[in-house]
Structure 1
């Protein structure tokens, strides 16, 4: 078994697990259906193509930079009749960074790695209006899902890492798919992406964490304002 890690960074991301009429929400982290859709698109698969092999991959995501929730509204006109469509609310994650990982058969993982490096269809971060700002592909790891995410460097933006300059290491939240049915339930297990009959099943996740080095941790000693006075008194 191998693990493919992916970098998901961009000005805006939106990972919807449910939608109510004109209200389009986003989860706080990438969904499995969104990442499987990205991988299927990278391979050049049509929406009606089978995705059983991709859906069987075990999935996890690490929250490197949670970002901020952004609310927007959109207006539109019907392309045929020209009539105004209902105003829709759309929610996004602004300035977020994640590391996603999929675990599976070595041959499939390596073929996916080749695909994301030269995608058949351009990748996007949940919606077509959300392009990535960095390369999506990271690496193939010969390790299990949890270890691969522990081995990946912290991918947060430099300005965000500098906010933690006093910390030599940081603890990052990881949402990992469980195999025993325990944990939080999400309806983001893709069955088919066919436009006229999309189907998503339930899956379970557990929340854990990994500790990684902070590359921008200060190398200077901590300032002690009374150290000089103590030296003179001795």
Structure 2
């Protein structure tokens, strides 16, 4: 078994858990990347088009994701004017996004060559990669790492904290008595058989814009602790006068 981790960071990210219709006025986001979003990213990297039958086989990948930096929600409001036959109409849309968020996603397979192919494709994508929506692009090339003989959850329980330095310093000041940070992990239920489950509409049947289809899968939740790995000097307030 091989597992690949993918660091996800961008100006904005958006992960709709309910398979929002492309014509819906309200497009919401969950607080962590959905499995279907990561499958969509992998499919784009591999060069699969929206109606490619091979996309459905990617659902067999084991999946987990860790929230390293939660971010905050913001709303993109748009007033759209369009013409329908001879009549001019107006409609309004609200697109919800996560800003300043960082996640560490992990996918695995018993087929080592399949994971190696995915990792190569993520660094040499055939189509553009995005974070949930086409308008939300990653910060530069994706950072990935391959792990042998570990499940996605095991990898995320031991991986270094991926949050930005400013966020880690803020966390440290908010919890000065703590030596570790608690990070949330969401995974395929079979990876966490003893944890509570919930059903999410997150199994890709079709990405076609004419007939987008998703089915339900079971998702479980756990958490892990990570070290700060900062020296005490890193938390002192900045004093510009010391530079003079």
SS at structure 2 position matched to 1:194 = coil
SS at structure 1 position matched to 2:91 = coil
1:187 counterpart (194, 198, 201): 201
Structure 2 segments unaligned to the other structure (5+ residues): 235-244
1:6 alignment partner in structure 2: 6
CA distance in 2, matches of 1:53, 1:177: 16
CA deviations on 1:123-164 (whole Å, 9 max, x unpaired) are 111111111114323111111111111232111111001123
1:145 alignment partner in structure 2: 152
| Contact residue 51 and residue 206 of structure 2 kept, 8 A | yes
2:46 alignment partner in structure 1: 43
CA apart distance, 1:79: 7.5
CA distance in 1, matches of 2:231, 2:215: 42
2:72 alignment partner in structure 1: 68
CA deviations on 1:86-117 (whole Å, 9 max, x unpaired) are 10111011110000111112111110000001
Q: 1:217 to 1:161 in 2, by over 3 A?
A: farther
SS at structure 2 position matched to 1:146 = helix
2:105 alignment partner in structure 1: 100
Tell which structure's C-alpha radius of gyration is larger.
1
1:156 alignment partner in structure 2: 163
Count the aligned residue pairs.
222
Q: Greater helix percent: which structure?
A: 2
1:117 alignment partner in structure 2: 123
Normalised to the residue count of structure 2, the TM-score between the two structures is 0.83
1:176 alignment partner in structure 2: 187
Normalised to the residue count of structure 1, the TM-score between the two structures is 0.87
| Contact residue 63 and residue 108 of structure 2 kept, 8 A | yes
Structure 1 segments unaligned to the other structure (5+ residues): 221-234
CA distance in 1, matches of 2:90, 2:105: 35
- Where do 1:196-215 residues align within 5 Å? 196-215=210-229
Computed over aligned residues only, the root mean square deviation of the Cα atoms, in angstroms, reads: 2.4
- Where do 1:128-139 residues align within 5 Å? 128-139=134-145
| Contact residue 162 and residue 217 of structure 1 kept, 8 A | no
CA apart distance, 1:122: 1.6
| Contact residue 26 and residue 93 of structure 1 kept, 8 A | yes
